[in-house]
Amino acid sequence: MTVRRLAACLLGLALLAGLPGAATGQDARGRKARPAYALATPTPGIVDVYVLSLGLWGEQRVFEREAKGAAQILESRLGETGHAIVLFNTRTRMNVTDASARAAASAVGRVIDPGEDVAVLFLTSHGTPDGLAVTTRGRNVQLMPPTYVRGLLDEMRARLRVLIVSACYSGVFAKALADDDTLVITAAAADKPSFGCEDRATWTYFGDAFFNQALRRDASLDAAFARARDLVTQRERREGFDPSNPQIAGGANVLRALAGRRGATSAR
């Protein structure tokens, strides 16, 4: 398989609905986390941001690296230390399972102030028009569809939430889940592949543009997205790819709350 074909995520997968049994995870600094997923308590009167970052495809380490890197940047730019949980599959371990994903989402839900704080869910994997692939080497591929992701967001209990998906065809999540209280950012349109899924890479093309470049410069998610979309499109055209057309949808109330948080934090 050529690098270019490897970069484009795969459609012809035998996908099975649902996720398998339990696991443990890591925090945003890569340390082993206890099953309780201890998180810092929120500060009353301030919009606290909590992050759950999941690397779903274990056969290529780029998704592990991207899950870790995204959590670190989201935590530093939008929140505080101790506000993130990271889970990722590897070639030998199935760390993202139905039990572990729900436990981590519930851990966020137990500490968050549902009416004040913001929950961020980041997912990185290969994608299909029906959802995201979840696997480790030697296992059947599982499917994480938009209905399952909605359940994880609900487990996090925040009224205001952000979903960021780095995968091919990830625009399907924007269509299914975006509303005024749910900001959805995706690496591609619902009918487009995205690129950069290489084992030795640190980021996918979208992850590099959005997290590693744009979000380091601007903590406003919509401004960072606009910058990242331009960076991704330029890179794809330069390398001869059909542009993936990253998407942003919904989230008017989320962006307003985060803008207020930045103002309150600057005033402290």
Residue type, position 32, single letter: K
The whole-number pLDDT of residue 29 equals: 53
List, for residues 99-149, the tens digit of each pLDDT value.
999 999 999 999 999 999 999 999 999 999 999 999 976 677 899 999 999
Q: Which pair of tokens denotes residue 219?
A: 């903590």
Q: What are phi and psi of 56, to 5 degrees?
A: -95, -25
The whole-number pLDDT of residue 261 equals: 80
Can you tell me the distance from the alpha carbon of 9 to that of 189, in angstroms, rounded to the nearest whole number?
Answer: 13
Q: How many domains are there within the chain?
A: 1
The whole-number pLDDT of residue 36 equals: 60
Q: What are phi and psi of 122, to 5 degrees?
A: -115, 130
* Helix ranges (DSSP H) in 26-183: 62-78, 98-111, 146-156, 171-177
The whole-number pLDDT of residue 12 equals: 38
Which CATH number do you get for residue 25?
A: 3.40.50.1460
Which residues span the domain enclosing 150? Answer: 3-267
Mean pLDDT by 10 residues, the chain (268 residues): 40 46 48 65 94 96 98 92 95 92 97 97 97 82 95 98 98 98 98 95 98 95 98 98 98 96 57
Per DSSP, the three-state class of 215 is helix
- What DSSP assignment string belongs to 164-201? EEESTTTHHHHHHH-BTTEEEEESS-TT-------TT-
The whole-number pLDDT of residue 119 equals: 98
The whole-number pLDDT of residue 247 equals: 98
The whole-number pLDDT of residue 87 equals: 97
